[in-house]
Amino acid sequence: MTSEDEAAGESAHRGSNRSVTAKVLALLEAFTPEMPEHTLSELARRAEVSLPTAHRRVAELLEWGALERGTDGRYRIGLRLWELASLAPRGPGLRAAAMPFLEDLYEVTRENVQLAVREGTEVVFVERLAGRHALPVRTRVGGRFAMHATGVGLVLLAHAPVETQEVILGGGLDRYSPRTVTDPVVLREKLASIRRHGFAVSDGQVTVDAVSVAAPVLAQDNSVVAAVSLVVPADSAQPGMLAPAVRSAARGITRALAQQPPG
């Protein structure tokens, strides 16, 4: 037995009391943007299940289409999961309503345009438009990020339930750049300002070379369901001039959502 197999066995012992569903979810959760492919042993170790368990569950996932196996023998996420994910109510309906306005904002600026929602205490990006010459960013469609640093995250955090705000403010705020706001008192003041002015500015808080301007998208009950942002190079950014265009796009998406049939 290899050291890799032994490590998988030790991990499996720790997770032996979990349900079958929990083990399957752990196998799927082993895939990340940084590690999108795994051998069976790697999956077993990362999911903390035994090799026999991993073999059985992975075979079922392969048959159903949740996983695919390449010619190199490594496993990858299958298209069946993408098909299911596309049915998420905050995905296609929101994207369909937003796309014309995101495209307009992109055509005017040729910079990064992003649409995001809140999922628990994190931001999930559901759409992003960017040209070849746009500033590189650390976000991707389907990716998650902390709420306190990005423009969309600040908007969503400013309008999140109080209990969510308290969890984030009280849990320690990660620093992504020298300009990231990590003082809860300062962040509270920033969130109040966002609610007052109707938009957020993240000035070099994720990377020092980027500025993000974001605005909220509202549901029919005036709750904030998403945020749209524009990310531009810091050396050319004029947030005060960008804010009207971003807010206009957000209002357009809000109107489009209100016109969608309930469902």
Neighbours of 126 (CB within 10 A): 19
Task: Give domain 3-84's CATH architecture.
Answer: Orthogonal Bundle (1.10)
Average pLDDT for residues 129-145, to the nearest whole number?
78
CATH topology for 92-259 is Beta-Lactamase (3.30.450)
pLDDT tens-place string over residues 117-128: 998 899 988 888
What's this model's pTM, rounded to 2 decimal places? 0.71
pLDDT tens-place string over residues 80-125: 887 676 666 555 578 888 999 999 999 988 888 999 999 889 998 8
Q: How does the average pLDDT of the chain come out, rounded?
A: 85
Q: Where, residue-wise, is CATH 1.10.10.10 in the chain?
A: 3-84
Closest by CA position to 199, among listed 130, 152, 142: 152
Average pLDDT for residues 207-223, to the nearest whole number?
91
| Crossing angle of the two packed helices 184-197 and 162-170, in degrees rounded to 10 | 150
236 against 196, higher pLDDT: 196
Closest by CA position to 108, among listed 242, 253, 247: 242
Residue 198 has pLDDT above 90, yes or no: yes
Burial class (CB in 10 A: 0-12, 13-18, 19+), 15: middle
The answer to whether 79 touches 66, Cβ cutoff 8 Å, is no
Residue 238 has pLDDT above 80, yes or no: no
Structure tokens at 161: 């339930």
Q: Residue 86: its pLDDT value, please? A: 63
| pLDDT level of residue 45 (50, 70, 90 thresholds) | very high
Average pLDDT for residues 151-166, to the nearest whole number?
95
- What percent of the chain shows pLDDT beyond 90? 49
| pLDDT level of residue 12 (50, 70, 90 thresholds) | very low
Residues with Cβ within 8 Å of 203's Cβ and at least 6 positions away in sequence, in order, are 179, 211, 234, 237, 239
Q: Where, residue-wise, is CATH 3.30.450.40 in the chain?
A: 92-259
